[in-house]
Amino acid sequence: MPALAALPEAGAVVESYNLSWGPIGAVGCELATGVPVTTLDSPLRLLLRSPLPFSRRDALLLRRRLRKLPVWVEAELETRHGSVSLAEYSTSPQFLTLHTPDGPKLVGDPWFPRQLRSA
């Protein structure tokens, strides 16, 4: 399956930014269980652990590199407070949706989410 085949190349791209990472979604499920659940159209979903702030410039460059892979890649940046979409973060909106254990919150900075508001 294309998403599984792209995993090593995606890993090399992500590791060049010194981020811990792993597959989630169908690819992660298939690797964890051995049950073939990916399809020809499955995206490669990645979780990128970023306990320290990651610049929007680097996020944009990383996103551009991932878009060159032969499959659709969806990535989430995981902070100590929750996760945000790499695509959303890299486009520099004023507020981002931070997915937390208590539900989604609108924040300006996912690493320093002051004055959290419900999404």
What are 40-87's pLDDT values in tens digits? 999 999 999 999 999 999 999 999 999 999 999 999 999 999 999 999
Average confidence (pLDDT) over 95-106: 92
pLDDT for the residue numbered 15 = 95
Rounded to 5°, angle at Cα 44 from 103 and 107: 30
Predicted TM-score (pTM) of this structure: 0.89
Report the run of H or E that residue 3 belongs to, with start and end: helix 2-5
Contact yes or no for 82/99 (Cβ under 8 A):
yes
Task: Give me 102's structure tokens.
Answer: 């208590």
DSSP string, 24-86: EHHHHHHHHH------TT--EEEEEE-SS---HHHHHHHHHHHHTSSS-EEEEEE-SS-EEEH
Mean pLDDT value of segment 25-36: 96
Averaged confidence pLDDT in the chain: 93
Q: Which residue has the higher pLDDT, 110 or 119?
A: 110
Residue 114 confidence (pLDDT): 73
Label residue 36 by pLDDT band (50, 70, 90): very high
